[in-house]
Structure 1
């Protein structure tokens, strides 16, 4: 009688094959392991190409010159291969997306291209890569990324925004990139009267796959409450019975629901006709507002400046306003013009003497 152990012949047969035993279809060891999906670079390329017009218009408006962006060259790359493709020193502007489509995002320039764009924005030549230049580049990045977020929001119905920007000049091995694989988009940028430049934009891979695939997954539909006639059908009433229950009661009769409680009597609302002006006695006591503070401002003048002029301001800069010397200043309450006056000195403080009260009818268009 066998003691349940296998003979040497049976063990050898098992090692060489099935040995006549029906072991069934066991499959391969990795059949149940989900395989990683290959990123659809074609869909990502098509989506990024749709952002070129907004990028071109944004940068052109900032530097005051015609700008042309070439079609993006899209790569899915990891940190090691990406760093090797960069110059030794780079300028990075980090501007991540947040909201309906969130993820890491930044622009990367060579120092030469960065100083060229910053100089054009500031209206200066041979700009040093200092804090002012980096601030100008952040402004450029904010404008371009903001237009991209607007385009994404309008196309996909997602509420997409950007986080505050940060710029830095670092060595290539200190570049900040998303973990794992990410998307690198390279654009050839042509600026009127300047040498061609290369702009690199990097995106979080998961975010772009979500956007290029049509946005976030749709929300599940809310459950629809069953109508009274549906409930009648569930408890076994025929179609004719349902029609009888659904019939409207005659005027003056009371209708009862399934619970035996009377249904409310619903009537349309009757609004009174609009009358004339309210009598003075009905306006309330204005004295209740007499102790309320309101902000009063005296405005010396205004002007408009280009961003490059504002970024180039420093100590000693003179700003010309739109008012002539000796012209009355504006007196505003909660930013609404109510009077004009002239500036006076009261001991050690400035003051204003009211010379004209603005007619109330002239204030109406500003309200």
Structure 2
């Protein structure tokens, strides 16, 4: 190589080296040979293509406006290529997978797109990208990821969980998903009245490979189960009918062999041959009986049991008569004192709020103004009433007696 030229052997070696690299030319398709295979990318496209419906409905509910999310574009890129397609500053919402699948996962928005998401959620048209707006974007991504992992979990037969969302504005070089190769999922989003934007989801290659692998395993398991299916019931019934026909045919064969027995008796003078034929006649009679049994089995197998006769149960009524001794026993209970309570309402507070109660604290109850109060005896609801004032005391006027059925429902 002193003259700067390459020998034929060196050229061949370089060509073989390029072939071994799979023709990498810096594009996403070439990088898929090092990151994800084409089959893995196809599996992910099918999976996330099914998820967009859930994402659209979820985002529409969050933003209170119609949202359309189209099928995503999925690419396996080097970290350098991924960064080149992002704005210098981004809003990242980090939600790594920590159950079912483990690895880095985040949604990334340009500042302009983050404002388009936060504006309808906050209810303002002109929104600054401050802490409130970034928190709104984080809440939107949290809801989207919840719908996404539910759909993915159903597809791969696994329970997938993520960490709590961590949203912040940062330089693109500080993105949290690690590794030299990453998977970029780009969703075209159309928000009615707010224009269009691109929502970018980033997966570490290990996460994407694990998803594709689980999808393949789930598909293989489904095919195996279908191959092990039980035979059709109609086929089983057909086999049963064929068995009956075969046994009926046995009867016909028995009759024929019985006739052979008669022929054997006529040929009795022929000695041993006649005796053998006579024995065949006995066997023919036995098989003829089997034919009769076969004829009996067919109608039995097809017979349907009559429907059961179902009648309602009638319980005897209890007598209302009370004996004098029982009446005296009840009279002994009339002087027993019981605690009667009128409950104005209830509420629940946290311990920190209860410890902060002081003079002037107002406690709001679960009863509306003018709503009947509860009258309880030994903590059992018996009636409802309204509060009245009697001289200088409060009282209750009973307005409704609670029925026995309502009392059971209260307990």
| TM-score normalized with structure 2 length | 0.48
Evaluate the alpha carbon distance shift between residue 37 and residue 90 of structure 1 in structure 2; reply closer, same or farther with a 3 A threshold: closer
The C-alpha deviation readout for 1:189-226, integer Å capped at 9, x for no partner, is: 001111111110111222222222335969xxxxxxxx
Cα offset for 1:129? 2.2
The C-alpha deviation readout for 1:148-183, integer Å capped at 9, x for no partner, is: 111122121101112111100112222222222111
Q: CA RMSD in A?
A: 4.1
Q: Contact (CA 8 Å) 2:346, 2:366: kept in 1 or not? A: no
The C-alpha deviation readout for 1:250-295, integer Å capped at 9, x for no partner, is: xxxxxxxxxxxxxxxxxxxxxxxxxxxxxxxxxxxxxxxxxxxxxx
Match of residue 192 from structure 2: 192
Matched, 1:157 2:157: yes
Match of residue 271 from structure 1: none
Q: Which one of 281, 286, 298 corresponds to residue 346 of structure 2?
A: 298
Evaluate the alpha carbon distance shift between residue 159 and residue 127 of structure 1 in structure 2; reply closer, same or farther with a 3 A threshold: same
Correspondence 1:103-114 to 2 at 5 A: 103-114=103-114
Cα offset for 1:338? 9.6
Higher helix share: 2
Q: Which one of 352, 357, 362 corresponds to residue 406 of structure 2?
A: 362
Within 2, Cα distance between the matches of 1:109 and 1:203? 15
Within 1, Cα distance between the matches of 2:382 and 2:82? 61
Evaluate the alpha carbon distance shift between residue 50 and residue 358 of structure 1 in structure 2; reply closer, same or farther with a 3 A threshold: same
Determine helix, strand or coil for the equivalent of 2:75: strand
Within 2, Cα distance between the matches of 1:329 and 1:86? 63
Within 2, Cα distance between the matches of 1:157 and 1:353? 62
Larger RCO: 1 or 2 (CA < 8 Å, sep 6+)? 1
Matched, 1:137 2:185: no
Match of residue 272 from structure 2: none
5+ long unaligned stretches in structure 1: 1-27, 29-34, 219-295, 301-320, 344-351
The C-alpha deviation readout for 1:278-335, integer Å capped at 9, x for no partner, is: xxxxxxxxxxxxxxxxxx97149xxxxxxxxxxxxxxxxxxxx997544457899xxx
Within 2, Cα distance between the matches of 1:186 and 1:153? 21
| TM-score normalized with structure 1 length | 0.53
Within 1, Cα distance between the matches of 2:408 and 2:79? 61
Evaluate the alpha carbon distance shift between residue 156 and residue 90 of structure 1 in structure 2; reply closer, same or farther with a 3 A threshold: same
Match of residue 227 from structure 1: none
Q: Relative to structure 2, which stretch is displaced further, 323-332 or 80-89?
A: 323-332
Larger Rg computed on CA atoms: 2
The C-alpha deviation readout for 1:45-73, integer Å capped at 9, x for no partner, is: 22211111111111011111111112111
Evaluate the alpha carbon distance shift between residue 298 and residue 109 of structure 1 in structure 2; reply closer, same or farther with a 3 A threshold: same
Match of residue 54 from structure 2: 54
Within 2, Cα distance between the matches of 1:62 and 1:331? 43
Cα offset for 1:122? 2.1
Q: Contact (CA 8 Å) 2:36, 2:76: kept in 1 or not? A: no
